[in-house]
Amino acid sequence: MQRFEIYGPVVSWFFILALMFAMPSASFGQDEADQAGGAENSAPPATESASRSLIWTGTGERSLNQTFPEAAVWLELEEGDRALGLFYPEARLPARGAVLVLSDEGETAASGVTGALAAGLASRGWAVLTLGLESPSPVLSDVLMRPVAEESSAETEADEQEAPESVMIDVMASESADDLEARYRSRISQMLQAGLAQLAERGYETPAVLGVGRASIHVTNQVLEGADAAALIWVAPQFYPFDRPDLPERLESLSTELLELYPSGAVDDQAKWSMGMRLRRAGMSGFERQPIPWLTPAPGTLGDGIASRVAAWLESRQD
């Protein structure tokens, strides 16, 4: 009886302390579950993320928005989508005009030569709006870089007779690939259209349009589809296999003057001329080629030199 009176209070306090520790732990566990549930609810649908990952990989727009808050311009695209551009106002008045720049594939609106190119043009009296060009996903890259091969009708008929099921699978795969490519190109077209509209809202009519590397075909398509541009400029242009064969023919009707700045170290292959050489051989009017120093990947240090060439050429068109 006496032993119970000594240890009884100790046991009681032990149970009280255990309950005190257990209650916060349970509450904390509930909070973690709520937070996890909230995170799951806020995450984009898995199908949407998977679909986007099949097309492009992103250009770090949020980081650019934080790094260049005064220059950042959000462009509204279709279906609630948007893209980030960077605006560089002219540093000397009166303004000579404006240039819309689309970066090379995988570059942001400020990386590669784009940032230094924009700053160089702005210092020479040109307002500039730069846009990044998202890298296509590996799946889409394979689609864009697929070789153009035309099979004879006899070979095609033979293949259909030998393996009709395989042909159906190939057709379905081709339709899916075409859809990925169409969505990628459509978004870039929307970006360029919104960029031109942004410059027009700021009072810059008929700006020049410039594409670096792989961006060259996208700015070209925009002009060929009716965009009002004062000039078209290619910087170290590269074209997808699908776009190469008929591009000279498409450019025959181009009334906009075109400047190609090509790498000075490049050697033209006479068996397979570069696009610029093909245009020159075709006698395209309003077309000019100039060599520039170039490295791959292009460092930003080349940007100001390119800006000097571009500004001088544009100003010579105004005189």
Share of the chain above pLDDT 70, in %: 69
Burial 277-289 (b: 16+ CB within 10 A, else e): bebeeeeeeebee
* CATH number of the domain located at residue range(s) 49-318 in this protein: 3.40.50.1820
HSE value, Cβ hemisphere, 13 Å, CA-based, for 188? 31
- List 262's β-bridge partners, or say none: 291
- The pLDDT-based confidence of 23 (bands split at 50, 70, 90) is very low
Q: Is 40 a residue whose pLDDT tops 50? A: no
Q: How many residues in total does the chain contain?
A: 319
Q: Is 297 a residue whose pLDDT tops 80? A: yes
- The pLDDT-based confidence of 177 (bands split at 50, 70, 90) is confident
State residue 85 phi and psi, 5-degree precision.
-120, 160
**pLDDT per position as a tens digit, 110-154:** 999 999 999 999 999 999 999 999 999 999 999 999 998 654 444
Q: Where are the domains of the chain?
A: 49-318
